[in-house]
């Protein structure tokens, strides 16, 4: 029997900060996470008064159990497009019968 829900691979981009001789040095780290559920969350026009030509796209991403890394200030690549993770999503460890326990909103505004 095939599973009803099937995740896919997404790439998580995070910036690691080090200090060398008192100077801030940033480096990008890329990590591929398998078995992430990807669901379109919303596609809307941005606030017409502030940005009349802007569009907003969002995905709800469910990360699998066992993925405990912080997603705060991270970006993700879904279908070749880069999105920012909103806020600081945390795992929901209690009463979670599925294989996924961290739900994050990934957003992008164009225009």
Distance in angstroms (rounded) separating the CA atoms of residues 49 and 71:
31
Cβ–Cβ < 8 Å for 75, 108? no
Six-digit token pair at 31? 């990590």
Q: Kindly list the structural domains of the chain, giving each domain's residue range(s) and its CATH number in brackets, ordered by start.
A: 8-110 (2.40.10)
Name residue, tokens 């993700």: 76
- The pTM score is 0.79
**Which pLDDT score is estimated for 54?**
62
Q: Which residues contact 88 (CB under 8 A, 6 or more apart)?
A: 70, 71, 72
pLDDT in tens, 39-80: 998 655 545 555 566 678 899 999 999 998 999 999 999 999
């Amino acid at each position: 029997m095939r599973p009803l829900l099937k995740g896919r691979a997404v790439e998580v981009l995070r910036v690691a900060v080090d200090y060398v001789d008192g100077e801030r040095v940033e480096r990008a780290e890329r990590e591929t996470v398998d078995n992430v559920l990807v669901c379109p969350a919303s596609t809307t026009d941005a606030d017409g008064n502030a940005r009349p030509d802007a569009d907003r796209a969002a995905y709800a991403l469910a990360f699998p159990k066992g993925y405990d890394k912080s997603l705060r200030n991270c970006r993700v690549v879904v279908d070749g497009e880069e999105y920012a993770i909103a806020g600081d999503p945390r795992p929901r460890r209690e009463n979670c019968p599925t294989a996924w326990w961290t739900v994050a909103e990934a957003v992008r505004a164009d225009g």
